[in-house]
């Protein structure tokens, strides 16, 4: 096995973390999108610590915690004991109702993080936790590790935060992970194709229904609106003119587990203003949909760090995340990412 040289601390051992951990410890993983990024393969990624605030996960070995309720993610691989216990994290926001909490102060957390000597901290806590995510980013700077923010909190897009990472010679990327083939990527992809075929897009919507704690959390009105705004904005950016569009999570169905169904409706005009309508749905698994992008982003951040490119790295943010300072086309973002990180 290749030397594991990218040291990762996971913050938030939920459904996305579960798939990520399984992908590092399973002997075989089918469907890897980019086997090498930045000269690294998945075998180069090593987990060194993990944090959560859920009493059901703290103190458990990571191999057990990733399958502990309320996680509902699929079991793709048998993970043997890893030897990393989940430690308590910090909490500065309201907690999702379903959690029994055990948290520590920032100083204690920073000490724990420092002890594990990570290169990168990976923020996978729920949506709607701006203050906690900002505090984790600050703790990463104190611990001298780079930071990946998969949550919709403003971290990499916050100039004052990204400047602090840059001046500390660290990398920060985010915000709000873009799934490999989730509703947002699919919606942007269809619109781009219709536009490239000369159709004039008039209206579109995307309504997501899912299970999993993140969906339960997202139907909370404030979080729902914040997430809907990010998704809607990134979709609107795909087309060079204004049209009516809305995209967001509309409901939680507990027995769907970590699966999601996204319903799309698009109306466009063709020759003689004749109408073209699309009415389709897409079924995906949330955790698995994050897996490839996370593996890519982790390795690209490690390459940036190694090459002394600090602060918010545009090509990584554009490729792997939805909330961006400047609009970018999906296929362009992927091409630019590969140009810089495929070797």
Ligand X SMILES: NC(=O)c1ccc[n+]([C@@H]2O[C@H](COP(=O)([O-])OP(=O)(O)OC[C@H]3O[C@@H](n4cnc5c(N)ncnc54)[C@H](O)[C@@H]3O)[C@@H](O)[C@H]2O)c1
Strand arrangement, sheet containing 120-123: 86-88, 45-52, 6-11, 120-123, 146-149, 171-173, 311-312
Contact range with ligand X by CB under 6 A, out of 46-54, 110-118, 198-206, 333-341: 46-54
Kindly give, in sequence order, each residue whose CB lies less than 8 Å from that of residue 275, ignoring residues fewer than 6 positions away: 267, 268, 269
Is residue 262 a contact point for ligand X (CB under 6 A)?
no
116-175 residues in contact with ligand X (CB under 6 A) are: 124-127, 132, 150-152
Query: With CB under 6 A, what is the number of residues at the site for ligand X?
Result: 33
65-104 residues in contact with ligand X (CB under 6 A) are: 89, 91, 99
Question: Is there a cis peptide before residue 70, judged by omega within 30 degrees of 0?
Answer: yes
Is residue 52 a contact point for ligand X (CB under 6 A)?
yes
Out of 15, 22, 146, 292, the residue judged to bind ligand X by CB under 6 A: 15
Whole-number minimum distance, CB 22 to ligand X, in Å? 13
- Report the relative pairing of strands 244-252 and 200-210 from DSSP bridges: parallel
268-297 residues in contact with ligand X (CB under 6 A) are: 286-287, 289-290
Whole-number minimum distance, CB 89 to ligand X, in Å? 3
Residue 19 three-state SS: helix
Is residue 214 a contact point for ligand X (CB under 6 A)?
yes
Residue 78 CA to residue 80 CA, distance in Å, equals: 6
Q: Output the CA–CA distances (angstroms, integers) from residue 203 to 152, 247, 264, 269, 275, in the order listed.
A: 25, 11, 11, 10, 11
Residue 125: other Cβ atoms inside 10 A:
26
Pairs from 270-274 (Cβ < 8 Å, separation ≥ 24): 270/198, 270/199, 270/200
Considering the complex, state which of residue 136 and residue 341 has its C-beta at the smaller distance from ligand X: 136
Is residue 177 a contact point for ligand X (CB under 6 A)?
yes
Is residue 259 a contact point for ligand X (CB under 6 A)?
no
Contact range with ligand X by CB under 6 A, out of 156-164, 206-214, 270-278, 300-308: 206-214
Contact residues toward ligand X (CB under 6 A) are 11-17, 51-54, 89, 91, 99, 124-127, 132, 150-152, 176-177, 179, 182, 212-214, 286-287, 289-290
């Amino acid at each position: 096995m290749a030397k594991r040289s990218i040291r990762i601390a996971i913050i938030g051992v939920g459904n996305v973390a579960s798939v990520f951990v399984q992908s590092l410890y399973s002997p075989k993983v089918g469907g890897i999108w980019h086997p090498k990024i930045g000269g690294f393969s998945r075998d180069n990624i090593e987990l060194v610590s993990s944090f959560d605030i859920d009493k059901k996960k703290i103190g458990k070995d990571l191999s057990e915690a990733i399958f502990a309720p309320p996680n509902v993610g699929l079991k793709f691989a048998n993970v043997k004991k890893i030897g990393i216990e989940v430690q308590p994290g910090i909490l500065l926001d309201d907690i999702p109702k379903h959690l029994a909490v055990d948290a520590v102060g920032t100083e204690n957390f920073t000490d724990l993080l420092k002890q594990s000597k990570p290169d990168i901290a990976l923020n996978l806590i729920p949506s709607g936790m701006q203050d906690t995510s900002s505090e984790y980013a600050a703790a990463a700077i104190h611990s001298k590790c780079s930071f990946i923010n998969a949550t919709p909190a403003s971290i990499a897009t916050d100039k004052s935060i990204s400047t602090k990472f840059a001046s500390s010679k660290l990398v920060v990327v985010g915000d709000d992970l873009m799934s490999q083939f989730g509703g947002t990527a699919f919606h942007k992809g269809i619109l781009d194709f219709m536009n490239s075929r000369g159709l004039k897009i008039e209206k579109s919507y995307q309504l997501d229904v899912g299970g999993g704690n993140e969906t339960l959390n997202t139907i909370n009105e404030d979080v729902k609106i914040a997430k809907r705004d990010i998704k809607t904005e990134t979709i609107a950016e795909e087309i060079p003119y204004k049209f009516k569009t809305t995209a967001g999570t509309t409901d939680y169905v507990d027995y769907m587990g970590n699966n999601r169904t996204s319903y799309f409706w698009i109306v466009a005009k063709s020759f003689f203003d004749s109408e073209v309508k699309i009415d389709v749905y897409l079924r995906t698994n949330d955790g698995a949909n994050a897996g490839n992008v996370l593996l890519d982003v982790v390795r690209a951040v490690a390459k940036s760090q190694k090459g002394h490119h600090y602060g918010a790295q545009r090509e990584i943010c554009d490729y792997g995340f939805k909330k961006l300072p400047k609009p970018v086309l999906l296929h362009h973002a992927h091409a630019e990412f590969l140009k810089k990180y495929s070797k």
